[in-house]
Amino acid sequence: IHKSLKISFWILLPLLFISGTKGSPDFHVSNYFEGSYELQATGALEQQLCGIVYFENTLETNTQGIQCSTLTLKFTSNESSDQYSMELLITKQNQSSPIKKGKYGVSEDIEGFLNDFDGVFGFANVRSLGEEPFFAKKGKVVITQITELGLRGYIDVALKCAKGTKIFINGSFSAAENRG
């Protein structure tokens, strides 16, 4: 009997510790690591876009000594032959903490990759539409939930290439932290 009680104690003790843990019912742990999205593209590209999305939330100081926070979202296609890719950068200048949940509008006046900016800068490459990249001209990115391991949100952006061709993309995503 003493031996049975001892074994039962060692089996029940770990269960006692585990039973007290809580998780967020709104955000499933599996979504942290999967990083997926479902977006609808209209305009020059009429199709459902699905794939993997990763994020990176960084703090940097530029050459003028201004601190800025940048959240990078990298969207890749599910298919093995990279049919398209898209990247969105959310930047806030004069900020000493990482990007938090909120609504971020596309910055329409960005002239290139090297300029400092506040807001969203986005670009996409779509093989079926040629070699020219598409740049975000209007829209928003909304981060609804964010932790160190994952984030959720949705996008509604209009992208345009130098020829004037437009793509409209909207939908939701659940991004995993980029670990490499």
pLDDT in tens, 42-86: 999 998 988 889 999 888 887 778 888 889 999 988 766 568 889
Alpha carbons 90 and 13: distance in angstroms, whole number: 46
Mean pLDDT of 99-114: 75
> What stretches of the chain show up as alpha helix (H) in DSSP?
2-19, 29-34
Q: What is the DSSP string of 103-122?
A: EEEB-TT--STTS--SEEEE
In this prediction, residue 18 carries a pLDDT of 66
Alpha carbons 176 and 127: distance in angstroms, whole number: 25
Q: Cβ atoms within 10 A of the Cβ of 152, count?
A: 19
Question: Which of 46-60, 113-127, 136-150, 151-165 is least confident?
Answer: 113-127
In this prediction, residue 149 carries a pLDDT of 81
